Amino acid sequence: NGGWCQCYSCFTGSICSEIIHDCVINFDHGDPKMFEKYWSLHQNTVSAVLRGNERMSYFSDKEAVCWFLEPSLAMEIKLMHKMIGNAVTEGHHIVVGTGSSQLISAALYALSSLAHHRPVDVVSASPFYSSYPPMTNFLESQLHHWAGDASSYKTSGQNAYIELVTSPGNPDGMIHSAVVDGTGPVIYDLAYYWPHYTPITEAADYDIMLFTVSKTTGHAGTRIGWALVRDIEVAKKMTKYIELSTIGVSKDSQFRTAQILKGIRISYSDKAENSREYDSNSQRRLFHFGYEQMDLRWRQLRHAIGNSQCFSVVDFPSGYCQFFEKNTRAHPAFAWLYCEMDEDCHAVFKANGILTRSGLHFGSSRKYIRISMLDHDNVFQLFIDRVHQMASSCHKK
Ligand code: PMP
């Protein structure tokens, strides 16, 4: 690796096999490191080389609504959604962002600047993605402000509102739809609507849908997300937001993302022939790899918890996944764990060397925590060992 070698956190030694026993496992963030194993096995299938004279301009396609969107990326996004069957791209404009994070802010700006009454209330059903409140309120804008849990939000003639829906949910992994009365616009954050996390039961066809390469392929550092937007005025406003904040989105990153999506697509080009050869191909194809990993990890977590009286995680319903052509069960990117006995679940895990995110950040109770399921294999195994110990000692209480 070019002489560069670094052990994953909690490991040391010449071959990184020694565990640092008192180390704290940080599962607070959702950094999708699990996918590095897949890309190490397939590192030569995707490369993105740009020569000094290439992709220099601010512009990509001056005539397009999103004038900084690389046409090759737009094409691969459409082909990827078609292959997976998770979203309808026809009748939608694509807006690219620096991660879907930038697109959340861009969509809030677009919708609230088009609203009749301002500031617009921004709501999301609890447990909601913990970044929504700070993202909404960050600039203390007069356009919009965070108004809390959508489940208890009452619309009135005076206030305009925007509802954010994350489906599958971060943190809870469940499929969600809008809960307010439907009179306001809804932003569907579909970051996890991919077959390694949940059965793809239908192609989503909402007015505003957000996706990110971070959770799709694991390339969080590439910082590319995209929005599928039905209304051209909303798409134009979102583009304006990105124009004013960053004058577009890195062409290098867009190019790399296009290459990554293309590499995955090509690996599936013989899908029809081999679609049922599920196990033998799992290492070769990203979504099969992701599915197997997540399935294994969730089985390990459930086994570690066992029938402990202290901790519980919900069972997810299964559904017919149109991409895998079989019934699959959801394996969310996060475990939303409930402490049955203790009031402060975060403190219990912290005392056992596991950093998680308290339910309080998601508009929920401190009896819940969110745990990332996407870390490297050996760090995840260490986590499983610790949970197993916690669960078994809990029986003895
Ligand atoms: N939406 C949800 C629900 C997320 O979990 C995340 C990442 N944690 C994002 C958006 C932002 O992703 P990114 O900016 O990396 O594209």
Query: What does each C-alpha distance from 214 to 22, 239, 297, 299, 345 come to in angstroms?
Result: 30, 21, 19, 24, 28
ipTM strictly over 0.90? Answer: yes
| Residue 226, pLDDT score | 98
Query: In this predicted structure, what is the pLDDT of residue 2?
Result: 47
Q: Which residues pair with 70 in a beta bridge?
A: none
Give the Å distance between the CA of 355 and the centre of ligand 1. Answer: 19
Q: Sign of dihedral through CA atoms 161, 138, 229, 119?
A: positive
Question: CA nearest 187: which of 162, 153, 212, 160?
Answer: 162
Q: How far is the CA of 94 from the centre of ligand 1 (A)?
A: 17
Q: How far is the CA of 127 from the centre of ligand 1 (A)?
A: 15
At 163, give phi and psi (nearest 5°). Answer: -105, 130
Q: Is the model's pLDDT at 299 over the cut of 90? A: yes
Q: Residue 5 has what pLDDT?
A: 63
Closest-CA residue, ligand 1 atom 5, reads: 170
Give the pLDDT score at 10. Answer: 86
> Above pLDDT 70, what percent of the chain?
95
Q: How many other CB atoms sit within 10 Å of the CB of residue 358?
A: 21
Average pLDDT estimate for 216-243: 98
Residue 72 CA to ligand 1 center (angstroms) comes to 23
**Contacts (Cβ under 8 Å, ≥6 apart) of 271:** 83
Assess whether pLDDT exceeds 90 at residue 376: yes
Tell me which of 124, 170, 215, 224 to substitute to probe ligand 1's pocket, judged by most ligand atoms within 8 Å of the beta carbon.
215
Encoded amino acid at 179, one letter:
V
pLDDT tens-place string over residues 119-143: 999 999 999 999 999 999 999 999 9
**Distance between CA 344 and CA 13 in Å, rounded?**
35
User: Residue 281 and residue 379: Cα distance in Å, rounded?
Assistant: 25
Quote the ligand 1 centre to 87 CA distance (angstroms).
18
Pocket of ligand 1 (CB under 6 A): 30, 99-101, 129, 166, 170, 189, 191, 212, 214, 220, 225
Q: Which atom of ligand 1 is nearest to the CA of 212?
A: 16
| Identity at 39, one-letter amino acid code | W
Q: How many CA atoms lie less than 13 Å away from 390 in the CB half-sphere? A: 24
Helix (H) or strand (E) segment spanning residue 357? strand 357-358
Distance 243 CA to ligand 1 centre (A): 21
Calculate how far, in angstroms, residue 4's C-alpha sits from the geometric centre of ligand 1: 29
Give the model confidence (pLDDT) of 72-111 as tens digits. Answer: 999 999 999 999 999 999 999 999 999 999 999 999 999 9
5 or 22, greater pLDDT = 22
Pocket test for ligand 1, best of 104, 131, 224, 357 (most atoms within 8 A of CB): 131
Distance 149 CA to ligand 1 centre (A): 19
Domains contained in the chain, CATH given:
11-41+282-395 (3.90.1150.10), 71-267 (3.40.640.10)
Query: From ligand 1's centre to the CA of 100, what distance in Å?
Result: 6
**What is this structure's pTM?**
0.95
| Residue of 31, 100, 197 with the most ligand 1 atoms within 8 Å of its CB, for mutation | 100
Say if CB 339 and CB 310 are below 8 A apart. yes
Q: Average pLDDT over the chain, rounded to whole? A: 93
Nearest CA to ligand 1 atom 4: 191
Spacing, Cα 101 to ligand 1 middle (Å): 6
Phi, then psi, of 229 in degrees rounded to 5: -125, 125
Mean pLDDT of 324-340: 97
pLDDT tens digits, 141-199: 999 999 999 999 998 878 899 999 999 999 999 999 999 998 999 999 999 999 999 99
Q: Which of 32-46, 87-101, 286-300, 320-334 has the lowest mean pLDDT?
A: 32-46
**Pairing relationship of beta strands 208-212 and 224-229 according to DSSP bridges:** antiparallel
Mutate to test the pocket of ligand 1, among 35, 103, 129, 192 (most ligand atoms within 8 A of CB): 129
Protein residue closest via CA to atom 7 of ligand 1: 30
Is 397's pLDDT higher than 90?
no
